[in-house]
């Protein structure tokens, strides 16, 4: 018996709870669940409010959501073109190995090309060898010369409170 077909669709406001569940499941897999502070209202406001900050594609089999891709626009100064940044890609463990992750990435690649975007970027934890192998098999290149940085929480607040540097005298 063959696998049920996978369908992809844009997320709708009624998917907010499922999206939050996927985010928590992904964070748990990445051993980062303690960092998730998003709640249902945050998801509704930031994804489905007047100014959505990202978009989501839901993967379904037999009408049941089994995975998602959350992405947003970015800009490359080197290309002088926009791009897409894949923030989260997640397929529930029972549905992995069926091509769902690949279908989601193919969908995003098509959106990027159709939208005139110059690239599709994302990050992956160094220890996540199954995902790294999957991305390499798709032809994705690791950006070995780059280190990702982040300011968040207290460090972000502290930097924001600092006075700008004095202008050089000339």
- Write down the catalytic residue from 71, 75, 85, 135: 135
Closest CA to 61 of 138, 120, 14, 8: 8
Evaluate whether 128 touches 30 at the Cβ level (below 8 Å): yes
31-82 pLDDT, tens digit each:
999 999 999 999 999 999 999 999 999 999 999 999 999 999 999 999 999 9
CATH match of 6-161 with 3.30.565.10: no
> Catalytic annotation on 135?
yes
Domain ranges of the chain: 6-161
Secondary structure, 3-state, 79-143: CCEEEEEEEEEEECHHHCCCCHHHHHHHHHHHHHHHCCCCCEEECCCCCCHHHHHHHHHCCCCCC
Residue 169: pLDDT over 80: no
């Amino acid at each position: 018996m063959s696998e049920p077909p996978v369908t992809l669709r844009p997320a709708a406001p009624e998917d907010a709870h499922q999206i939050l569940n996927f985010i928590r499941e992904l964070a748990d897999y990445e051993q980062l669940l303690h960092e998730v502070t998003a709640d249902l209202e945050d998801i509704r406001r930031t994804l489905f409010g007047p100014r959505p900050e990202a978009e989501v594609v839901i993967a379904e089999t037999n009408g049941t959501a089994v995975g998602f891709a959350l992405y947003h626009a970015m800009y490359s100064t080197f290309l002088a073109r926009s791009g897409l940044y894949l923030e989260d890609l997640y397929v529930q463990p029972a549905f992995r190995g069926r091509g769902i992750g690949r279908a989601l990435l193919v969908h995003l690649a098509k959106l990027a090309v159709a939208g005139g975007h110059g690239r599709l970027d994302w990050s992956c934890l160094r220890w996540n060898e199954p995902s790294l192998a999957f991305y390499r098999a798709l032809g994705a290149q690791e950006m070995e010369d780059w280190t990702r940085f982040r300011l968040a929480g207290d460090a972000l607040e502290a930097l924001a409170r600092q006075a700008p540097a004095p202008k050089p005298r000339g």
